Amino acid sequence: MSNIKLKINTALISVFYKDGLCEIVKQLNEFGVKIYSTGGTYDFIKKTGINVYTVESLTSYPSIFGGRVKTLHPSIFGGILYRRSNIKDVEEQKQYDIPNIDLVIFDLYPFEETLKQNANEDDLIEKIDIGGISLIRAAAKNFNDVLVISSRKQYDCLKKILTEQQGATTLAERKYFAAQAFNISSHYDTEIFKYFNKQQNISIFKQSMEDANQLRYGENPHQKAIFFGNMDEVFNKLHGKEISYNNLLDIDSAINLINEFDEPTFAILKHNNACGCASHNDLTEAWKLALQADPVSAFGGVIITNRTIDKTCADEINKIFFEVIIAPEFTNDALNILQSKKNRIILQHKLFNLPQKQFRTILNGIVEQDRDNCTGGIEKLDFMTNKKPDEEQICDLVFANKLVKHTKSNAIVLAKNRMLLASGTGQTSRVDALKQAIEKAKSFSLSLNGAVMASDAFFPFADCVQIAHEAGINAIIQPGGSVRDHASVDYCNKNNIAMISTGIRHFRH
């Protein structure tokens, strides 16, 4: 049944974008297809010398209301929707002299593109398509008898079908293009709804992403995975193997972390957590300091910086094995060095706007939240203790707080001289996270004397403060807000430790 071919005899064509259309109409003309069209598309086809008829010749109505109503007429929709296999439909088609329309080629007014241009609302509203989307849906609904082409991206496929099948289509082909049409109309309506909902704030979850990238597999080889989104907006891939699901998770974490820093900074990530990070005016030195925190975990990690990587820096980085490296620029010499490993992924990071809503599947639904855009700089700090941190300590505390914000909870970060010394990540208690960080620093012979500590949440007891003090920590940053803040503050005051609060918790699960 799906292989039975139906000849195209009549086409209705009206498109916003004319590129690629000329070849299509010439091909249709060769197969003797009668073409109806409207407005600018009619003029375009007429100029090719191909015989074309106006929609008005079918409806006996002109385009009215500034073009808002052109095709909304029973003669048009009837010609698309009547069922050729239904006796009653065929009788009515003949009774009312309804034309037989076998092919509909329509695209939609560029609402999304106009929105990106920050157009005023009047212009934007006029880009909400009514007739086109109605015709596309009508043709898609009657895929048994009608072929619908709803995007210029489908022209090449249509040309191939017309050539190979002499102007005829199969049911399977018509059904495929119907699915494409409903995808396009659904995406279009979603983008319009999202525009209106910025003001109305209706609690409805609607997302539509047309770009899809099939990944090798998911988190594990037995899981399938697809990335929905346009990677080209985020980075240029300069070298290396296909990006995996786990690579993407680490790349996302890396970009979110590096965006916190204005000064030259390097970060090394593994399983979404920073295992090394340092800021330094000399970028190569920043790399060496970042690696120093945990050279073992850095193996096979994701590396990111916010400055251009040159030959000197690349020579140092090339000494270890890593999966991905990300930077805004690479010198030619640096690229030549880093490309020495064929599978190594090299990405040139672009400036782009991160989505301000985050969501994930939970149970049988989806939870959505605002992006955590709060970090807390020097101007927002609250000094909780008698001893105030000096300028150098404040720089380290702010540095550590940026890192702890992007570390899995429960999280503790230990830092000194704008270098990550160690972190405790994803522990079930804050005490365990701190002990993990201390032991890690010791294992790499990194002194904690004079270091600072950052916590992603408040201290309900003084135990963490005491353990940190005994390890050499002399300044602490935390969100504050516990009913027992006084316990930690009292310990700090008795032991000459500086503590400041940000007022902002950064749980990350």
* Catalytic (active-site) positions: 141, 271
How far apart, in whole angstroms, are the C-alpha atoms of residue 280 and residue 289? 9
SS3 244: coil
Q: DSSP 3-state assignment of 386?
A: coil
Q: From CA 419, how far away is CA 388, in angstroms rounded?
A: 21
Q: Minimal CA–CA distance to 347: which of 252, 212, 463?
A: 252
Q: Could you tell me which residues are beta bridge partners of residue 419? A: 278, 416
In angstroms, how far is CA 488 from the centroid of its own chain?
Answer: 41
Q: Are 136 and 106 in contact (CB under 8 A)?
A: yes
Calculate Rg over the CA atoms of the chain: 31
**469 neighbors 480 (Cβ within 8 angstroms):** no
Inter-CA distances, 429 with 274, 350, 362, 363, 451, Å:
19, 38, 24, 25, 22
The tokens of 7 are what? 């000849």
**DSSP structure string for 26-84:** HHHHHTT-EEEE-HHHHHHHHHTT---EETHHHHS---BTTTTBSS-SHHHHHHHHS-T
Type of residue numbered 445: S
DSSP string covering 177-245: HHHHHHHHHHHHHHHHHHHHHHHH-----------EEE-S-SSSTTS--EEES-GGGTEEEEESSPPPH
